[in-house]
A and B are shown apart, each in its own frame.
Chain A
């Protein structure tokens, strides 16, 4: 049972345009969501997070939107840069639970073309 789903395995955008990565979840107990960036043969790097009490969090070029009623979140990157090309994972956690265990989506490979 995939509790966190990233239905688009890949996304290609032009440099300077907006990249929108989507993520859906099924468990209504999740109250904290994170996005990670991962290069091949490396561990994930934290990008941005959002608590369920908010619907938007912004950090520089990265903005995460949360729609709790739809159980959907998205990561917007604008403007996209070639260095953003990587695999992006969304992850969810029920922080009220023990250790805040992370459940990851399958990842979306973003390619930003110069």
Chain B
């Protein structure tokens, strides 16, 4: 299947700083990418749908000024957690696919963010 790569796999940052997470489609172009968040022992929650060349679509309850998404090219979407706080600590996962359907997307390996 298609390869989706996420970087970094884990990051520790101080409260108040910003962290950028990259999601790349390695062998295909993705006009749509999806960003999820997983809390401990909880399900994956869709945060936003990232659209190349346009603004991301955020799910209800997700602060768009807190979680900045930029999909500047067909192979790269970035999620920036701004002014991070300990409650932002979580596992963040992206997915992307050829068709733009979430059901046909492949997941990256995820990023473990710890804010201290």
A-side interface residues toward B, CB under 8 Å?
Answer: 2, 4, 9, 32, 34, 36, 41-46, 49, 89, 93, 95, 99-107
Nearest CB in chain B: distance from A110 CB, A: 15
Chain B residues whose CB sits within 8 angstroms of the CB of A34 once the complex forms:
103
**Contact in complex: A100, B101 (CB < 8 Å):** yes
Closest to B49 in A: A99
Chain A residues whose CB sits within 8 angstroms of the CB of B104 once the complex forms:
100
Task: Using known A-B contacts A42-B110, A99-B102, determine if residue A89 contacts B6 with beta carbons closer than 8 Å.
Answer: no
Nearest CB in chain A: distance from B50 CB, A: 11
**Contact in complex: A89, B107 (CB < 8 Å):** no
**Contact in complex: A106, B43 (CB < 8 Å):** yes
Nearest CB in chain A: distance from B15 CB, A: 23
Nearest CB in chain B: distance from A24 CB, A: 13
- In the complex, chain B residues 64-109 whose Cβ is within 8 Å of any chain A Cβ: 91, 93, 95, 100-104, 106-109
Chain A residues whose CB sits within 8 angstroms of the CB of B43 once the complex forms:
2, 4, 89, 104-107
